[in-house]
Chains A and B, each alone.
Chain A
Amino acid sequence: MLTPFQYLLSGIYLTRYILYSRHELLLFEALQEGLEEEMERDIRVCVMGEDVGHYGGSYKVTKGLAKKFGDLRVLDTPIAENSFTGMGIGAAMTGLRPVVEGMNMGFLLLAFNQISNNCGMLHYTSGGQFTIPIVIRGPGGVGRQLGAEHSQRLESYFQSIPGIQMVACSTPYNAKGLMKAAIRSENPVILFEHVLLYNLKERIPDEDYICNLEEAEMVRPGEHVTILTYSRMRYHVMQAAKTLVNKGYDPEVIDIRSLKPFDLYTIGNSVKKTHRVLIVEECMRTGGIGASLIAAITENFNDYLDAPIMCLSSQDVPTPYAGTLEEVTVVQPAQIVTAVEQLCQ
């Protein structure tokens, strides 16, 4: 027989265990876990893409899934991006919930017809009759000397398409959460992963959770300056933040996560607090996510700004193969530190 006090104590330990029990995994495993859980939860969820089945995915996100769910639910497609993306859209219109993988996001340029015309528009042109609950995902971004065509940032290319949502994951926690949310969403969602982030390790909760598709993530609260970033640049920003803190600055770092639409509430609250904004992105300067973000912030929060918004983007060059050149194509932590110092003068 336990005393009431012992019951209470064991209740607390049990709650803590349930609430906080976690397991450690890598980002690609988190994506896989999210995908697998959703496939178990809803039999209509299926995967289509090149080498997703028997090969397990070029970045192992679908490893083991074909064995578990069969070749039809984890479909190895021929190399025909436009057509198998369109096939995914047709399947979504007729009741399935496909997850289409671009082996590299860049390959989805071949599917632009389907993504722009059919994915984004069909719900509207059909007068709301057909929904397209499709997830299009894959690795993108600048890797380690992968060459120009395998180092693309398509988020800027797709952002104008009406009718789609775009999210970018950056940690195992939000990778799994965004994957699950994207699959459950009735809207077409493009999930941007990054080639260099797949082996990030983190302890994530055991219990079921999803991340809100439309919300940004507060990474580090601060008072002096708002730094908006996403995907891999989040890590360059955090590295710069360490240096900045040592120099006496207090940056607020927000991972915007939702590239379309922007979470103007989280962003706005931050701007109202710090009055200075730095955007750090891997997109090219021209027409990038940063460019749209500057427009949105200026439009909505101009009165709160004490200085013009600064935006650090990649150079408008095809990513060079040579390591030294590639390094200066993307934004490095030292540049971020300099920018903050400039902004806070």
Chain B
Amino acid sequence: MILGRAFEDMCAQMYYRGKMFGFVHLYNGQEAVSTGFIKLLKQQDSVVSTYRDHVHALSKGVPARAVMSELFGKTTGCCRGQGGSMHMFSREHNLLGGFAFIGEGIPVATGAAFTSKYKREVLKEADCDHVTLAFFGDGTCNNGQFFECLNMAALWKLPIVFVVENNLWAIGMSHLRATSDPQIYKKGPAFGMPGIHVDGMDVLKVREVAKDAIGRARRGEGPTLVECETYRFRGHSLADPDELRDPAEKAHYAARDPITALKKYLIENSLASEADLKAIDKKIDEVVEDAVEFADESPVPSQSQLLENVFADPKGFGIGPDGRYRCEDPKFTEGTAHV
């Protein structure tokens, strides 16, 4: 959680210093959800996120260096600089994105869960119990793809957990102004799956609920809808002036900061000392500083990278007038070929 917080704070700094661009959506305040869920997963389990995906990536194990480089648009980024803030992917860590349009990642997550079931039942990999987590927000819960996937996941008992990070706001639209019945967790049973509500500012409570839901999915008992009540301390993105939210509401949730709460819990229960916690803070600062340094020193993509990953099989660019495939044109690897 500390890594998530420190990383996101550094992102804000770097953005205002002109090192990263575009739409950057920070996760401050929601760390308990990412940590509470993702730290229970195995490497082969999959995570699908939205544009607010930096911390999901970090929790899943994508190195801070790779994420920071991606944000700087460098070729050493996890997506070679081609994805950016809203499109974090990692094959190695089974992070299936990073999606800009809300809701469009949920079917992809459903597909990953389908593959898990297919592996067990068709490919006969009897011990395949891979689980997929789909993270998305309150705004997404009014979107068709959400409901369509709840239906399909329950219908086929897919090993997936739908994790709603209800931070009460979709940019400037309050959840209460957008939703006829704002209690999202209640929509689970309508589709035949349990719907759980949890305090998303408390990492230990999130973890308990996550254990149950992930366990259900692993045992083949089907999907769960978990609504985490959480809050984002910053605006929707770094471009959002954040003028609509009531300061009293912000103060209320600031007092429930998940990191402060866990620190307090650890100290009160003698699980760690102040010195231990300070050491963690320091170590994380070093990791983040190192990530920035690495990103700074990394090269920007050259034009040669432009055409490489459009197609997995570059024959897809077709046959040119001279009878050769376009990708055989030497200019193709320079990124200057006419395609």
Contact = CB atoms under 8 A, between A and B. Distances in A.
B251 interface: no
Contacts of B114: 87, 90-91, 96
Given A90-B107, A214-B315, A265-B323, A77 B152 contact: yes
Interface string B245-285: 00000000000000000000000000000000000000000
Interface stretch (B6-14, B27-35, B97-105, B220-228): B97-105
**Most chain B beta carbons < 10 A, residue from A43, A129, A165:** A129
B152 A122 contact: no
A93 to B, nearest CB: 6
Nearest to B70: A127
B89 A261 contact: no
Contacts of B310: 123-124, 162-163
A198 interface: no
B104 A128 contact: no
Given A130-B91, A268-B321, A92 B111 contact: yes
A127 B111 contact: no
Most chain B beta-carbon neighbours within 10 Å: one of A113, A123, A124, A165: A124
Interface in B69-120: 77-84, 87, 89-91, 96-101, 104, 106-119
A129 B322 contact: no
B145 interface: yes
A93 B108 CA distance: 8
Contacts of B145: 82-83, 86, 113
A185 B151 contact: no
A262 interface: yes
A91 B118 contact: yes
Contacts of B46: 94
A84 B111 CA distance: 8
Nearest to B79: A127
B101 A72 contact: no
Contact of A186 (B104, B109, B308, B312): B312
A221 interface: no
A126 B97 contact: yes
A114 interface: yes
Given A83-B148, A88-B111, A92-B111, A123 B311 contact: yes
B319 A261 contact: yes
B110 A87 contact: yes
B312 A133 contact: yes
A187 interface: yes
A229 interface: no
A163 B308 CA distance: 11
B299 interface: no
B321 A93 contact: no
A160 to B, nearest CB: 13
A129 B66 CA distance: 14
Nearest to B119: A95
B227 to A, nearest CB: 20
A265 B319 contact: yes
Contact of B319 (A77, A187, A264): A264
**Chain A: interface size category:** 35 or more
Interface string A175-186: 000000000011
Given A94-B46, A214-B319, A264-B320, A187 B313 contact: yes
Contacts, number: 194
Interface string A28-45: 000000000000000110
A78 B148 CA distance: 8
B155 A78 contact: yes
B308 A128 contact: yes
A82 B82 contact: no
Given A123-B309, A265-B320, A86 B107 contact: yes
A96 to B, nearest CB: 5
Interface string B161-177: 00000000000000000
Given A125-B89, A215-B319, A93 B111 contact: yes
A127 B73 CA distance: 12
Contacts of B178: none
Interface in B134-183: 144-145, 148-149, 151-152, 155
Given A94-B115, A263-B318, A84 B313 contact: no
A83 B309 contact: no
Contacts of B111: 86-94
Contacts of A114: 104, 107
Contacts of A187: 311-313, 316
B123 interface: yes
B77 to A, nearest CB: 7
Interface in A92-132: 92-96, 113-114, 117-118, 122-132
B97 A122 contact: yes
B112 A93 contact: yes
Interface in B282-339: 308-313, 315-323, 325-326, 339
A91 B112 contact: yes
A263 B317 CA distance: 10
Nearest to A263: B319
Contacts of A96: 114-115, 118
Interface of A: 43-44, 46, 70, 72-73, 77-78, 80, 82-96, 113-114, 117-118, 122-133, 162-163, 165, 185-187, 213-215, 258, 260-266, 268, 300-301
- Closest CB pairs A-B (n = 8): A90-B111, A86-B107, A261-B318, A127-B80, A127-B79, A126-B89, A83-B148, A90-B108
Given A126-B82, A127-B83, 18 more contacts: A70-B122, A77-B152, A83-B110, A87-B107, A90-B110, A91-B118, A92-B111, A95-B115, A117-B101, A123-B312, A124-B82, A125-B79, A127-B89, A162-B310, A165-B316, A187-B311, A264-B320, A268-B321
Interface of B: 46, 48, 77-84, 87, 89-91, 96-101, 104, 106-119, 121-123, 144-145, 148-149, 151-152, 155, 308-313, 315-323, 325-326, 339
22 contacts: A78-B148, A78-B151, A78-B152, A82-B145, A83-B152, A84-B152, A86-B106, A86-B145, A87-B114, A90-B108, A91-B111, A96-B114, A124-B310, A126-B97, A127-B81, A163-B311, A163-B316, A185-B313, A185-B316, A214-B319, A262-B318, A264-B318
